[in-house]
Amino acid sequence: MASLAQLKANQENALLSCGPRTAAGKAKCSRNALKHGLLSMSVLMRGEKEEQFRDLRDGLMEELLPTGDLECVLFDRIVSAAWRLKRVLQLEAGILDLGYYSEVLNRERHRITHGEEIEPRTPSLYLRDEDGPEARRWRPVLERIRDCLVALDSENVSLAKSFVRDAAGPEALSKLKRYESAIERSLYRAIHELQRVQAARRGNPVPPPIAIDVGLYGAGSK
């Protein structure tokens, strides 16, 4: 039977092995996600850069140091949730841009349709000395319309349009907030479970899992 001193020494040695530190060890864990196809292929949307996704994954791997299949499965869930949270910020910016530029576009088109008097808010960059009064009057408006059309054709706004259609328009931001909260809960659960698995591997005491569900009626444990 092992002595208390030997057991303590084994635990201290286990603490020294906290994850893959060598290039070969990291590559082995990285290949874990390739067994079922690239993780990025199931997470990335059109227009998102795989290089940025890999940078995020590599940075989290340096911090979390997963070892073995189970830890790598939990690690991939963490990476997926972290990437989706970044997308939420992009969606929020796109929704706000969609509302702002759509409003400006409608206003400027209304002015042209109804022949309203124009007071340029910004000087035109393309006015020439030989331009007549009518050109000087309408060119700033046309330029603002052009800028709005360019903004509304951006990747952020295109993604936002799809989300807004799915969220029934006016409820888009509220639904986005609920979506963000769900992703955060998934992220924290995966992080806590990875920490528990790693603690068990190192020989540390592992407390039972506690899930806190925060909703409209307060917080409760599950």
The 10s digit of each residue's pLDDT in 132-147 is 555 566 777 778 888 8
Rounded distance, CA 213 to CA 222, Å? 7
Residue 167 near residue 175, CB atoms below 8 Å: yes
First CA to last CA distance, the chain: 39
Per residue in 95-132, pLDDT (tens digit) is 999 999 999 888 888 877 776 655 555 545 454 555 55
State the virtual CA torsion across 49, 54, 55, 57 in degrees, nearest 10: 130
Task: Tell whether the model's pLDDT for residue 59 goes beyond 80.
Answer: yes
